[in-house]
Amino acid sequence: MVRYRLLVAGMVQGVGFRYYVNYTARLLQLTGWVRNLEDGEVEIEVQGPAGEVDQFLAAVRQGNRYAQVDEVRVKRLEPVLEHGFEVVG
């Protein structure tokens, strides 16, 4: 079980990116959350088995067809007890 905080920069607000992230995380049965930040970036915390989280990271780096992902900064965190994945802001 791994958990990461991601900060995603680029054209990632107002293009359905959070909902793409939410859909992808739920498809892979991961937990966590996603939200927009005031500086135009998107923050994500994601948790699950390493293989599925790696697939998720690849999908985030690719983005949906409307987003342009310029940079993804990744920080490893300690796993926490949680259920589900949600858009929180």
Q: Where are the domains of the chain?
A: 2-76
| Topology (CATH level 3) of domain 2-76 | Alpha-Beta Plaits (3.30.70)
The number of beta carbons lying within 10 Å of the beta carbon of residue 35 is 15
CA distance 89 to 87: 6
58 Cβ neighbours under 8 A, 6+ residues apart: none
Per-residue pLDDT reduced to its tens digit, 52-61 = 999 999 999 9
Q: Confirm whether 36 is a catalytic residue.
A: yes
- pLDDT at site 89: 81
Catalytic hit among 18, 35, 64, 65: 18
Catalytic hit among 22, 26, 36, 76: 36
CA distance 80 to 70: 29
Question: Average pLDDT of 79-89?
Answer: 96
What global pTM score does this model have?
0.96
Per-residue pLDDT reduced to its tens digit, 1-53 = 999 999 999 999 999 999 999 999 999 999 999 999 999 999 999 999 999 99
